[in-house]
Structure formats: C-alpha cells, structure tokens
Amino acid sequence: MAMGRMTLTDFTRYLVFLLQKDNAAVPCKDQRLWHTLMYQLKEEAANTSAPACVQELWFDSDDSYHKSPDVARVLLALSTTGVIEGTRQRYEECRLSAVAAAALQRYFYALDAPTREYLEAAAVRTRKRIEAASTT
C-alpha cells in the first residue's frame, strides 16, 4: 500500500496493532488522548513522511484541547465494528480482535519499507505519550 493512499482508519488500525504488539496499554475510552496524539502527529507531519491522512487532518481548537471530527469518527467506527474490543467493562483499554490483529500483521509486513518505518516511529512516539499521560 502506498503511503499517500492510506486512510485514517488504516493508519489508526496499524498504530493500535503496533502498540498491542509491543504489549502497550492502548487507551480506548479517553478520546481526548487520541485527539491530542493525532494532533501532535499532524504537527510533526511537516518534518516527516507522514501519510496524507495525517497531514490533512483538521482540528477544532475551540475547546480545551484540539478535536478532529475525523478522529472521533474513526474511533467510533473501529469500536462499533468489532475491530477494537474493550478489555475492561468500561473500555478503559482496548485491543484489536484476534481476527483483525492477524489480518493487520499480514498487511503491515506487506507495506513498503518507508510506510512501515513511519508507522513504527509514530508508534514509538505514541507509546511514549501514552506512558507520559498515564503518569500524570
């Protein structure tokens, strides 16, 4: 898959896949964290080979944090279609379903090298931000 053709849904799935693969706790309920993470990735996009779906994200800054309607829609779609399953009763953390994880593993390693490298670097930055947020 060429980087320019990746959708935000694909990007988010791959990000969750890489975080889960590294046994990172992936927040599900806290959409604020996801909006903040995606906003930071977008802000860094000018200096990276970020996919168009990240570079073109739009955020509303009228609230206490930057929100993207696209990010909200992707999170809702992933959680309601069974791609992401809650691991606790209140969906504090989430993980990919076994079927989705197996498929994403195959697809991820079929991506071109620059795409995989960007996603892996984004996952590292995201994991650090999740860890920092959980200690505050």
pLDDT tens per residue across all 136 residues of the chain = 444 479 999 999 999 899 989 888 787 777 888 899 899 999 988 777 888 899 999 999 877 889 999 999 988 877 766 666 655 444 567 778 888 889 999 999 999 898 899 999 999 988 998 888 777 6
Distance between CA atoms of residues 75 and 62, nearest Å: 21
Element (H, E) at 96: strand 93-96
Distance between CA atoms of residues 105 and 101, nearest Å: 6
Q: What pLDDT shows up at residue 54?
A: 92
Token pair listed for 29? 């309920």
HSE on the CB side for 125, CA within 13 Å?
18
